[in-house]
Amino acid sequence: MSRNLTPDICVIGAGSGGLSVAAAAAAFGVEVVLVEKGAMGGDCLNYGCVPSKALIAAGKAAHHARTSSPFGVHAQGVSVDFQRVHDHVHEVIAAIAPHDSAERFESLGVTVIKATAQFVDGRTLVAGDTRIRARRFVIATGSSPALPPIPGLDQVPSLTNETIFDLTACPEHLIVIGAGPIGLELAQAHRRLGARVTVIEAETALAKEDPELAAEVAAQIRAEGVELLEGARVGEVAAADGSGIRVRVSDAAGERWVSGSHLLVATGRRPNTKGLGLDAAGVAHGRGGITVGADLRTKNRRIYAIGDVAGGLQFTHVAGYHAGIVIRALLFRLPARQNPDILPRVTYTDPEFGHVGLSRAEAEARFGAGRVRQVSVPFSDNDRAQAERRTLGEVRLIVGPRGRLVGADVLGASAGEIVNLLSLAISSGLKVRDLASFVSPYPSLSEAVRRAAISLYAGVPENPWLRRLVRFLARFG
């Protein structure tokens, strides 16, 4: 070992959560070491949120050009230069990368070590030629694509979210295994960019979301030409004659082979715990990740885990939320606990699908069916949606005891932006009457939230006591 470091905090992993902890600690003058074996910025910047949304934007541009005739705009001969799409995706990554770079964090006062990290005991970490003995450690190593045990999968070339953005030519026929958010987002984007696409899902598309709304997303994706096979089991993957791949599928229609040029596996993710020496550190862990309490502390009280590696929702914003909890605990010794009820999520298909808080079933299980109400407004009732011809979808509000907003679903245009308002409302403990009484600029898509909230009181004018009161007050002029 060439050096020994004794910082106040050592962060393992330079993704969203790890970078947030390191930057905040350094801002307060705390000595912090950041260890990262791969690319700075983690999965989100390099293989996840950023490149996928850039690709989706390219697909949306092509789709809008082809479908603009209802506005009186006729784009002739729309073509896609996939090499340029690839360049666009990587230009977006490059534009954001300096913010997450080792050079920037070194300038903030963080000691950045590019090496593999491994615990050798409960309070000592080795990274390359450096031994780190910190007061507290934060594990933020994220997750990686999980490849299912499908016979033949290891014998054929396949793509994951870590490799699909390297393609410089549009796939002739992209086969996607998995119809979760990643699978559907990339399937729709590639279809809009010119690929033939088949999605194979063992259960139903977006199985974790409201079934009725998820079915609307699936119907739209099918309408755009994606072949979406639900309730379909993959029995085997094999190389096709000449080139490409074949997938043996079994569903209600029987068993058959589906042939394609490229295969994308989007069947979930696994926490990155391998090689960290967690047993030596006394940190409990399993297939679902590192075991933590509501305060994100592990069995070893010196060590915290945040983001994907801690299990639960695997989103960049969740890692950032975890980082805030840990910073309050590490720097200010304040009690802080995560609250999963306030965490939003968005699937960036078109239409987008956003959710925050409890589902109706979850709310009824917690409060009782008689104490939960659901109100909704379709996007077709929204004037801005009509003007832009984006009327598919609705806003649903889940209302708990005493009129408190406990959950919400938004299916439709800009759902990810609209969910911001609902996420704030739920995290602040607002009631539906608060959403009914705020002033929304007209015309805006977010106005649908206010309309949905007002609909909760649609029956009030029929209350006989209130009607008598109004008649009584009218006597006074």
| Domain parsing of the chain, residue ranges | 3-40+101-145+270-338, 153-267, 342-461
Rounded Cα–Cα distance for residues 288 and 276 (Å) = 15
- Predicted confidence (pLDDT) at residue 466 exceeds the cutoff of 90: no
- Does 235 belong to an annotated binding site? no
pLDDT at position 201, please? 98
Three-class secondary structure of residue 454 per DSSP: helix
| pLDDT band at residue 81 under the 50/70/90 scheme | very high
CATH topology of domain 342-461: Enolase-like; domain 1 (3.30.390)
Measured in residues, the chain has a length of 477
- Cα 356 from Cα 345, distance rounded (Å): 6
Instruction: List pLDDT tens digits, range 418-428.
Output: 999 999 999 99
206: left (phi over 0), alpha (psi -120 to 50) or beta: left
Segment 188-203 mean pLDDT? 98
Helix (H) or strand (E) holding 60: helix 49-66
Three-state DSSP at 93 gives helix
pLDDT at 1: 53
Does CATH place domain 153-267 in 3.50.50.60? Answer: yes
Q: Known binder of ligand: residue 182? A: yes
355 vs 357: CA distance, rounded Å: 7
Amino acid at 347: T
- Alpha carbon distance 61, 111 (integer Å): 42
142 is in an annotated binding site: yes
pLDDT in tens, 348-380: 999 999 999 999 999 999 999 999 999 999 999
Tokens (6 digits) for 472: 């009584």
Q: Which CATH number fits domain 3-40+101-145+270-338: 3.30.565.10, 3.40.50.12660, 3.50.50.60, 3.30.1600.10?
A: 3.50.50.60
Alpha helix stretches (DSSP H) within 333-463: 360-367, 383-387, 415-427, 432-437, 447-455
The pLDDT score that the predictor gives to residue 115 is 97
What is the tally of helices (H) and strands (E) in the chain? Answer: 15, 25
Residue 186 scores a pLDDT above 70:
yes
**What integer pLDDT is reported at residue 476 of this predicted model?**
87
Q: Are 50 and 92 in contact (CB under 8 A)?
A: yes
Question: SS3 of 466, please?
Answer: helix
Q: Is 181 annotated as a binding residue?
A: yes
- Is residue 341 annotated as involved in ligand binding? no
Whole-angstrom Cα distance, residue 432 to residue 425?
Answer: 9
Q: Which two tokens stand for residue 179?
A: 């119809």
| Residue 330 to residues 32, 282, 319, 337, 456, Cα–Cα distance (Å) | 12, 20, 16, 13, 43
Q: Is 242 exposed, middle or buried (0-12, 13-18, 19+ CB in 10 A)?
A: exposed
* pLDDT above 90 for 48: yes
Please give the average per-residue pLDDT across 452-462, as a whole number: 88
Is residue 282 a known part of a binding site?
Answer: no
The answer on whether 231 is annotated among ligand-binding residues is no
Average pLDDT, the chain: 96
Section 89-115 average pLDDT: 97
What region, left, alpha or beta, does residue 340 occupy, with left being phi > 0 and alpha being psi -120 to 50 degrees?
Answer: alpha
CA–CA dist 178, 200 (Å, integer): 6
Element (H, E) at 412: strand 405-412
Question: Among 353, 358, 382, which residue's Cα sits nearest to residue 368?
Answer: 358
The arithmetic mean of pLDDT across residues 245-254, rounded, is 94
Beta-strand pair 196-201/245-251:
unpaired
State what percent of residues in the chain have pLDDT above 90. Answer: 93
Residue 221 in marked binding region: no
Residue 180 assigned to a binding site: yes
Is 143 assigned a ligand-binding role in the annotation? yes
* 268 annotated to bind ligand: yes
pLDDT of residue 468: 86
Q: Decide whether 3-40+101-145+270-338 matches 153-267 in CATH topology.
A: yes
